[in-house]
Structure 1
Amino acid sequence: MPHRRQRHRQVAPADRAGHRGRDEAVPVKYILATKLVNELIEAADDLVLSKTIARYGRVDLLCVDELGDIELDRRGAELLFQVLTEREEKSSLAIASNDSSGGWTKTFTDPRLCAAIVDRLTYNGAIIGNRHRLLPARPNPRPSRTQRQPPPG
């Protein structure tokens, strides 16, 4: 399960983007990177890859979570690259990762493919940092029941 605040930072704007007007909804798809890559591999094996890539290309906003958390083999990385290429300059893409793009060489083991994917993601894009992970948890301002003092009397 993704970190709650990280997922919120991705899903909340997607929810807002999903409603242009009262009756005009925008197609938004949220998916884990592992699930997306597995679906692409299965589609390639079933000879329906072009339909699957086209389906992900039609979504106005694609939110991919936990990219960089697992190592992808060359085939999975190439299939993901095809989805990114299909969406390039046509549709919006939100990526959530626990690692900066500089650490993605562990995820995408081919350095040239890694550079191409980072290039696809950063061209005309905005990078939003995860500073919230570096901050300590806020202490609870209200004492628990066991810490409360009994009323005088």
Structure 2
Amino acid sequence: GKTHLASALGYKACQEGIETRFWRVSDLVLELEKAWKENQLERFKKKFNRVQLIILDEMGYVPFNKNGSELLFQLISDWYETKSIIITSNLEFSSWNKVFIDPRLTSALVDRLIHHAHILTFTGESYRLKNALSKIE
């Protein structure tokens, strides 16, 4: 699936000496909110200074509050011209409003992400769902 492909690309990047970080998006937003509340946001952002590839997994599984959305938007805006970003999501871009709440922020984020993007679309049945269903029968 998407996560396995993203992980494999991250693993290969590490083998090639590319500094890589893998985050589930919901965990990253929790960390961002915690850093913001503790006035440690700049210190948290510095953790990514040397990182060249960031993998953000499961975008859209959990909707964010307004603050979480804005913090993630800021971070991706900082990164999008200087780092490589891989994002996995089950949602089409048109559905990202449900995650980010603010349509203008969503639009600006998608604009940045697709500016230099290669978009891979996976169609067909979910392997995990098919596997789970076959065990039930």
Give the TM-score band, short-chain normalised. Answer: 0.7 to 0.9
C-alpha distance in 2 between matches for 1:49 and 1:138: 42
Three-state SS of the structure 1 residue aligned to 2:89 is coil
Matched residue count:
131
TM-superposed deviation, 1:19: 2.0
Kept in 2: contact 1:53–1:82 (CA 8 A):
no
- 4+ runs of 1 displaced by more than 3 Å? 132-135
2:68 aligned to which of 76, 97, 100: 76
Deviation at 1:119, TM superposition (A): 1.1
CA shift in 2, pair 1:110/1:57, >3 Å? farther
2:122 match: 130
| Bigger relative contact order, structure 1 or 2 (CA pairs below 8 A, ≥6 apart) | 2
What is the aligned partner in structure 2 of residue 26 from structure 1? 18
Aligned amino acid, residue 75 of structure 1:
N
1:142 maps to which residue?
none
Gaps of 5+ in 2: 132-137
The secondary structure found in structure 2 opposite 1:131 is: coil
Is the Cα–Cα contact under 8 Å of residues 19 and 26 in structure 1 kept in the other structure? yes
TM-score, normalization: structure 1? 0.78
1:43 to 1:138, Cα distance in 2 relative to 1, 3 A: closer
**Greater fraction of residues in helix:** 2
Q: Does 1:116 align with 2:108?
A: yes
The TM-score normalised by the length of structure 2 is 0.86
Q: Point out where structure 1 has 5 or more consecutive residues left out of the alignment.
A: 140-153
The amino acid of 1:33's aligned partner reads V
| Equivalent position to 1:10, from 6, 27, 30 | 6
For residue 120 of structure 2, what is the amino acid of its counterpart?
I
State the percentage of identical aligned residues: 30
Q: Bigger radius of gyration, 1 or 2?
A: 1
